Structure 1
């Protein structure tokens, strides 16, 4: 499948997806000469005429913009979005985006391979918050089963 990664997809994420999905052709907008800065309304028609079948984006507001929705519909391209919580920037934000895309994109592509018409997919986000990414056990306060305690010999 030929997949276009929108300009808002971080390049490190694009590299990781390209490594993991070698059976598909993934290209980032920034890597195609003359495509950087293309507005979304033009991008979908341009991508369709260049033979792309899928656009991956993290622009979750696209589907609320009437002209972009029409452009997506008229292109016939499948659209896959993933959410990126920008309050988690840096390595945490990038890690969450990479995890979300790498865990969900193979399943999405499997669905698209047997689709009979245009589909719009959303990848379920990996929660990057400290509380959901870590489980911390203090064995002094809450000893695990079989944990030796003081006084046991």
Structure 2
């Protein structure tokens, strides 16, 4: 399949995808001469005419704009989105995690599809409470954690 990454897809994500998604051609819109700034209404028919099968976008509101929805439907292209609103390192990390975890499954599904599909990749929760497990070994020592008396022993001391 030929995948077109919309210009709102970060370039580092393109580099990562081309490293591990094999058997598919992945092209970033910004690498195509004269495509930068193409409005979505024109993008989908143009991509279909150029032989693309899928457009990957971060534009979660695209499906709320009637003329863009009509262009997507008329193009026959599959559309995959991974909407999120985070910026900076958290934003690129969420984009990478979401797309790299979901895209292989989406591509398998699309290869078997008998018609156009619209897919939303579900993102991860970036809050620290959902992403981290923090243990204070002084308050809740893990199994086999050395006792306080053992930690204060001198190096080479084998006292229990």
TM-score, normalization: structure 2? 0.90
Q: CA RMSD in A?
A: 1.3
Q: Give the number of aligned pairs.
A: 151
- Structure 1: gaps spanning 5 or more residues: none
| Matching residue of 1:33 | 33
Find 2:137's aligned residue among 136, 139, 153: 139
Q: How far apart are the structure 2 equivalents of 1:33 and 1:98?
A: 25
Q: How does 1:53-92 map to 2 (within 5 A)?
A: 53-86=53-86, 89-92=87-90
Q: Distance in 1 between matches of 2:48 and 2:61?
A: 21
Counterpart in 1 of 2:148? 150
Distance (Å, rounded) in 1 between the aligned partners of 2:28 and 2:149 = 61
1:19 corresponds to: 19
Name the larger-Rg structure.
Answer: 2
* Structure 2: gaps spanning 5 or more residues: 151-159
Residue of structure 2 equivalent to 1:8: 8
Range 128-137 or range 60-69, more displaced: 128-137
Q: Given the two structures, how large is their TM-score scaled by the length of structure 1?
A: 0.93
Determine the structure 1 residue equivalent to 2:120: 122
Partners of 2:71 and 2:61 in 1: CA distance: 14
Could you tell me how far apart the structure 2 residues matched to 1:22 and 1:30 are? 21
Greater displacement, 15-24 / 71-80: 15-24
Alpha-carbon distance between aligned partners in 2 of 1:151 and 1:22, rounded to the nearest angstrom: 54
